[in-house]
Amino acid sequence: MKKLKLRPYVIPTLSFIALFGLLVTTFMQTSGTLTPPLDYVDDTILGNEVPVINSTEMIINPYISDKVTIGKNYYDYRATEEEQEKSIVKYDDTYMQNSGIDFISDETFDCISILDGEVISVSDDETLGKVIKIQHDNNYTSIYQSLSEVVVKKGDKVIQGQIIGKSGTNKIDSPLGNHLHFELYINGQMVNPRDYLNKSLNVTSKEE
């Protein structure tokens, strides 16, 4: 009987196959203990997320035109004597302290609400021109005088930046020409608008 003779590469190949099979079997037997169980999330992981966007509300200027400047400042007892003199209003041979800021421009400009709020009155005054009064949160009240046009009415809800009218003229500040006379009250007290415009509402509230 003729003896079979294996080729030289057969034995290494068989050994490799056997070793590979042993490794696969071992892995399958132990994979259940080596692989940690998976816990599936059945609820949002963002349930207690904290917003990273700064949501602080800013009090904005009562206009949007970049051509607007200040024609007359609020009369502030803390200001210098020279600044106070420039904040005096003369009307009908009477001198008065300016109760707000007069924003002027050669061109008629849109007047906007400085914050969200509700229009509590709209009037047409012979001396002051058309006037809008808006009540805001935190007991803030803004007043817009010397308007030539009004596009809101009493009871309207307005949002910050919404156009409420257009600048104009009035008798008491006629030398200023086209302008907006803006006043701000907090808790019923007149304040200098310059101390509050373009500042955080939270910060200004703490100052009161």
> pLDDT for 43-54, tens place per residue?
444 444 444 444
Q: Residue 166 CB: number of other CB atoms within 10 A?
A: 18
pLDDT at residue 91, as a whole number = 87
Question: Is the C-alpha dihedral spanning 20, 22, 23, 27 positive or negative?
Answer: positive
In the chain, which residues have pLDDT < 50? 1-4, 6, 10, 33-35, 40-54, 205-208
pLDDT in tens, 6-32: 455 545 555 555 565 555 555 555 555
Question: Using only C-alpha atoms, what is the Rg of the chain?
Answer: 38
Report in angstroms the alpha-carbon separations of 162 from 30, 49, 68, 95, 133. Answer: 69, 32, 17, 34, 14
Q: Would you say 198 and 59 are in contact if contact means Cβ atoms under 8 Å apart?
A: yes
List, in order of start, the domains of the chain with CATH numbers: 69-207 (2.70.70.10)
Q: Can you give the pLDDT at residue 44?
A: 45
pLDDT at 173: 87
User: Residue 41: what pLDDT?
Assistant: 47
